[in-house]
Amino acid sequence: MKSENIPFNFPYMTGKELYYIAEAHFNGRLAGDGPFTKRCHSWLEERTACIKALLTHSCTAALEISALLLDIEAGDEVIMPSYTFVSTANAFALRGAVPVFVDIRPDTLNIDETKIEAAITSRTKAIVPVHYAGVACEMDTIMDIAKRHDLWVVEDAAQGVMSTYKGQALGSIGHLGAYSFHETKNIISGEGGALLINDSPFVERAEIIREKGTNRGQFFRGQVDKYTWVDIGSSYLPSEIIAAFLWAQMEEAQLITNRRLAIWQSYHDALHGLEAAGKLRRPIIPAECQHNAHMYYVLLDSFATRTRVIQALNQQCINSVFHYVPLHLSPAGKQYARVHGELTHTEDLADRLLRLPLWVGMNSVDRVVNALTQLL
């Protein structure tokens, strides 16, 4: 008998997306910053306690705005993990800065905060912690280092919507934070993102950069009498159709998170035995972190085991995946970035990490766990 295919990801839709898109259509208001965008901004501001939230067309765009806001220039250095998605580094490399990679912690796979200080030079401008799997980096330590060395902190919270660190929403702790609403994340709009601003002097300029370098926002609020080119910028705002879709998701964000957490916990409970038998390692969540069940991963004993397991699961129609190719080993990483110290954990863990299917509506955790148990 052929078993039913278990996809790795399956975008969850609440059922209200098309209704809100129809409303945007009916309103005849399709460009950005209309009523749905405003609702999404308020939701983010209330939910995260940031000073200002701005929807963007991606997390990548929010990181690019951050680099512009911080006046990142050629030769500046920005400290970040190598174990991340390309956009974390690319946004700063685009401005001519050099990403400086430090190793990750073996428990959370987040940047190792104890390795940051030694990587700081006179050219260092910012630290970019990435909250891997929606589990927070050690932000108190990172903010303290930044304060003592007069550096900016931009949180890549692409995976961290609805997660907290000591009760604070991820993305609201550093000077700036970036969220993603890409279809592979928890709360989605196909492509989409948001910039969270936690330092008031950035608000006005962020609005200008996001609106092609114009003071259009101030003009519509009646604060200036003409609308013109005042700074560098680009078009970073999503249309109302995207915001309408996203609004449907935000309304159900808690429900989506709870359902993901339940699946995450089923994996975690069911894989306890394999961990006790030394066959794999389960994710570790520090006590001060409330996560959002963005992903369930396991660490296997070797690259060879992972390759074998992915293939074997695939034969049973279970789609599992791995990521990332550490950026310092990528062609562009070699060209644009540099490494500080040994990236031992980065290289080791990237070879052994396996991501299991996790999506709202999935009811096949047992089948995945049984397959894994047999294979290991």
Ligand X SMILES: *Cc1c(COP(=O)(O)O)cnc(C)c1O
In angstroms, what is the minimal distance from the CB of 63 to ligand X? 7
In the numeric block, which tokens belong to residue 250? 């935000």
Instruction: Please tell me the distance from the alpha carbon of residue 228 to that of residue 286, in angstroms, as a whole number.
Output: 49
The answer to whether 234 touches 253, Cβ cutoff 8 Å, is: no
The nearer residue to ligand X, 88 or 164, going by C-beta atoms, is 88
In angstroms, what is the minimal distance from the CB of 324 to ligand X? 9
Return the H-helix or E-strand segment holding 264. Answer: helix 253-270
Strand partners, 353: 299
Measured over the CA atoms of residue 285, residue 84, residue 70 and residue 227, the dihedral's sign is negative
Closest CA to 152 of 135, 185, 129: 129
In angstroms, what is the minimal distance from the CB of 80 to ligand X? 10
The nearer residue to ligand X, 147 or 323, going by C-beta atoms, is 323
In angstroms, what is the minimal distance from the CB of 124 to ligand X? 21
Chain center to CA of 9 = 16
Closest CA to 6 of 370, 375, 325: 370
In angstroms, what is the minimal distance from the CB of 223 to ligand X? 30
What residue ranges bind ligand X (CB under 6 A)? 58-60, 84-85, 87-88, 130, 156, 158-159, 180, 182, 193
The nearer residue to ligand X, 87 or 218, going by C-beta atoms, is 87
DSSP-derived secondary structure for 18-34:
HHHHHHHHHHT--SSSS
In angstroms, what is the minimal distance from the CB of 295 to ligand X? 9
The nearer residue to ligand X, 87 or 124, going by C-beta atoms, is 87
The nearer residue to ligand X, 137 or 372, going by C-beta atoms, is 137
The nearer residue to ligand X, 58 or 218, going by C-beta atoms, is 58
Measured over the CA atoms of residue 107, residue 344, residue 170 and residue 9, the dihedral's sign is negative
The nearer residue to ligand X, 59 or 127, going by C-beta atoms, is 59
In angstroms, what is the minimal distance from the CB of 297 to ligand X? 13
The nearer residue to ligand X, 82 or 180, going by C-beta atoms, is 180
Return the H-helix or E-strand segment holding 81. Answer: strand 77-81
CA distances from 375 to 110, 278, 306, 307, 350 (A): 29, 14, 11, 12, 20
The answer to whether 192 touches 44, Cβ cutoff 8 Å, is: no
In angstroms, what is the minimal distance from the CB of 252 to ligand X? 20
The answer to whether 287 touches 346, Cβ cutoff 8 Å, is: no
